[in-house]
Amino acid sequence: MKKPQPNPIETAGGETHQTNPGKHGCPLTTNVGIPVADNQNSLRQGARGPTLLEDFVLREKITHFDHERIPERIVHARGSGAHGYFQVYESQAAITQAAFLQDPSVKTPVFARFSTVAGGAGSGDMPRDVRGFAVKFYTEEGNFDLVGNNIPVFFIQDAMKFPDLVHAVKMEPDRGFPQAASAHDTFWDFVSLMPESMHMLMWAMSDRAIPRSLRMMQGFGVHTFRMRNAEGAWQFVKFHWRPLHGSASVVWDEAVKLNGADPDFHRRDLWEAIERGVFPEFELSLQVFDEAFADSLPYDVLDATKLIPEELIPLQPIGRMVLDRNPDNFFAETEQVAFCPANIVPGIDFSEDPLLQGRLFSYLDTQLSRLGGPNFNQIPVNAPRCPMHNFQRDGLRQMAVPKGRVAYEPNSLDEGQGPREDPQRGFQSLPIPAQGDKVRERAESFADHYSQPRLFWNSMSAPEQAHIVSAFAFELGKVDTRAIRKRMLGHLELIHADLGRRVASALGMEGEAESVKPARMPLDLAPSPALSLIAGAQETLHGRKVGVLLSEGADTDLLGKLKVLLEAEGAQMVLIGPRAGKVLAADGSHLIPDFALAAAPSIFFDAVVLMPREAEVAAMAQLAAVIDWIRDAYGHLKVIGHLPAAQPLLDKAAIAPDAGVLPITGADALRDFVARAKAGRIWAREPQIRAPV
């Protein structure tokens, strides 16, 4: 049956190729001039089958992309890492034979790297961006690399489009800006022509894209994988990381100011937490399901733009990762660590996800360029902790000294001393049948691009929805080409009428949305409360910081009581003085502030306390830095504790009393402050200080 012609806007999922609006230019070709018939889909064995190695268009395109930057990573260039260990809670033999998931007494060494995606190595830590979440497990059967993000879905369905995506979001090639930002024409032009990006855009415009700390964000394997037990039975799995000390994000104004005040905010936070013994901990959980369940879903589990709500498949916690040691050398470890999704161990296997299939080639190809040749696995941070034996030899930067005359197999000259394949213990791919013609075609089951973005919107709390609207308004407001904005408004209306209306109103473009005809009409899926950061926030101060603004004459007794209460919650009290030098306390002793006021804006802290002496308040009220410090804490919805003497400072800063502005009149009031600070930001304050969008 002849396929319907693609809509000019709808571009992927059930369609063979994209039709861009407007006139076509010259034919697209490979680097040697071969015309390209389809630049949207990898060549695979059947529409849902594995990608074929013979796809020279895909290999040339990704190879060229992988080698565009030397030696910095093209994406994920700015990263922070830490060493640690992983322990499984109990044997997972029922679902996998992977050795590191069997014995609860074994601590498997790990190295984790967290990163931004769009910016270069010199960019800041706090742009609105996806964060990489990659973990290298040094298991007894070899290295397993779980290479994911802090968002469970991705922008594209097929690896063929990855170079296009990154080219679109990177600095525009004629002008070299913006750095580490998606708020520009080329990015929104691309995604507005790729409806499959809509789900990821909802996550990227949410608070998930501006995490409070690398220690406080979730991680996901993104793709669907398979696990196999010793009997050969297999099931699908999805990997989830959850921070045991709670997930948290900042608000946008706070992120902007953090990037200016401390571009290394995330990197510093991770390093300092580990140095003072507040070790980040993440729980690894699985979603496990069989093929029958996968087939019952209204979307395809091989589609990386889709997730399975936790309400349908609850998470099974299987183990815990603790990061307890900072790198000894940033370049040798954090910069040179080489992750590759193809690094899996017996008991774990791939799915036919076309985005994953392309990554299996791309990462290894990238390491060859970045790290100087095929011997990059001899770099200590990449080297396995178990024995490694094979007949691979020589090459650039060979550090080992292989002995003997034999460098091949089979052979009869090493007298049985050399390595041999092991059919019993060796890795074996699952015998998954593949059917179909060799095609460049997107499976029809990939065609629904709006149901899950709608699910995400409907799962958000009111503050989170307001933040998403504001983010779209900011980003699209920086797009010069009006036609791109209209096109995006059409997509947003399809996701949800309220979302489209509010963004159009914020842009002053009511009624200008372009009509978009979807490849498949969106479904109204049940909301997933687990997707909301605010709804799922746990009450905790563990690993958080509370800033205390002091003056001369500080009350050391009250400070001591506050410190005890905060440390009991796993929080850190940070003293901020008018200057970096000593502060004379009321009892005649001297306090040494951790920071001077000029070096410690309130954006660095999760809650604040004002503890000035009454005699100092009038002078402090004349300092713009003090008033800005208080206004920012209030504007960023933080809990503010204050001595009664500080009321004139609150009045000068125009702070309205609410549930998060607490007078401290004694020990009981201190306990009330700590309890309220554990509950997090004062979301009810936001509509009063920031007009809703």
**Same domain, residue pair 66 and 128:** yes
Amino acid at 133: F
pLDDT of residue 33: 76
- The bridge status of strand 607-611 relative to strand 545-550 is parallel
Is 309 a member of any domain?
Answer: yes
Is 75 a member of any domain?
Answer: yes
Cβ atoms 13, 449 nearer than 8 A? yes
- Compute the distance between CA of residue 117 and CA of residue 112 in angstroms, rounded to an integer: 16
Cβ atoms 226, 349 nearer than 8 A? yes
**Same domain, residue pair 486 and 563:** no
Residue with tokens 């679109």: 168
Q: Which residues are catalytic?
A: 76, 149
Is 163 a member of any domain?
Answer: yes
Helix axes 56-66, 354-370, angle to 10 degrees: 40
- Compute the distance between CA of residue 480 and CA of residue 473 in angstroms, rounded to an integer: 13
- Compute the distance between CA of residue 501 and CA of residue 150 in angstroms, rounded to an integer: 29
- The bridge status of strand 219-220 relative to strand 225-228 is unpaired
Mean pLDDT, the chain cut into blocks of 10 residues (693 residues total)? 41 44 68 80 93 88 74 91 98 97 98 97 96 97 96 98 97 95 98 98 98 98 98 97 97 97 98 98 98 97 98 98 97 94 94 96 90 90 90 86 88 85 86 92 97 98 97 98 98 98 98 96 97 96 97 93 97 93 89 94 98 94 96 98 96 96 94 97 93 70
399 CB-near residues (< 8 Å, 6+ apart): 375, 378
**Same domain, residue pair 559 and 484:** no
**Same domain, residue pair 562 and 509:** no
* Model confidence pLDDT, tens digit, residues 386-401: 988 888 888 888 888 9
**Same domain, residue pair 366 and 466:** no
What is the domain-level CATH number for residue 301?
A: 2.40.180.10
Q: Round the average pLDDT of the chain to a whole number and report it.
A: 93
pLDDT of residue 69: 63
Cβ atoms 518, 547 nearer than 8 A? no
Q: Which helix (H) or strand (E) holds 655?
A: none
Is 539 a member of any domain?
Answer: no
Q: Which two tokens stand for residue 513?
A: 């949305």
What is the domain-level CATH number for residue 565?
A: 3.40.50.880
Amino acid at 362: S
Which of 328, 343, 378 is a domain's end point?
A: 378
**Same domain, residue pair 491 and 556:** no
**Total domain count, the chain:** 3
Q: Is 367 helix (H, G, I), strand (E, B) or coil?
A: helix
- Compute the distance between CA of residue 498 and CA of residue 506 in angstroms, rounded to an integer: 12
**Same domain, residue pair 502 and 588:** no
- Compute the distance between CA of residue 458 and CA of residue 314 in angstroms, rounded to an integer: 19
What is the domain-level CATH number for residue 481?
A: 1.20.1370.20
**Same domain, residue pair 277 and 354:** yes
- Compute the distance between CA of residue 670 and CA of residue 650 in angstroms, rounded to an integer: 18
SS (H, E, C) 516-571: CCCCCCCCCCCCCHHHCCCCCCCCCCCCCEEEEEECCCECHHHHHHHHHHHHHCCC
Is 368 a member of any domain?
Answer: yes
**Same domain, residue pair 203 and 286:** yes
**Same domain, residue pair 136 and 236:** yes
**Same domain, residue pair 507 and 564:** no
Is 196 a member of any domain?
Answer: yes
Which of 506, 531, 556 is a domain's end point?
A: 531
Is 634 a member of any domain?
Answer: yes
Which of 488, 507, 531 is a domain's end point?
A: 531
Is 190 a member of any domain?
Answer: yes
468 CB-near residues (< 8 Å, 6+ apart): 202, 205, 206, 457, 460, 499
Query: Which CA distances in Å does 87 have to 105, 107, 109, 599?
Result: 7, 5, 9, 40
167 CB-near residues (< 8 Å, 6+ apart): 173, 186
**Same domain, residue pair 157 and 299:** yes
| Residue 149, domain extent | 56-378
Cα dihedral angle (631, 635, 637, 639), rounded to 10 degrees?
10
Closest CA to 452 of 97, 203, 215: 203
pLDDT of residue 20: 54
Q: Which helix (H) or strand (E) holds 677?
A: helix 667-678
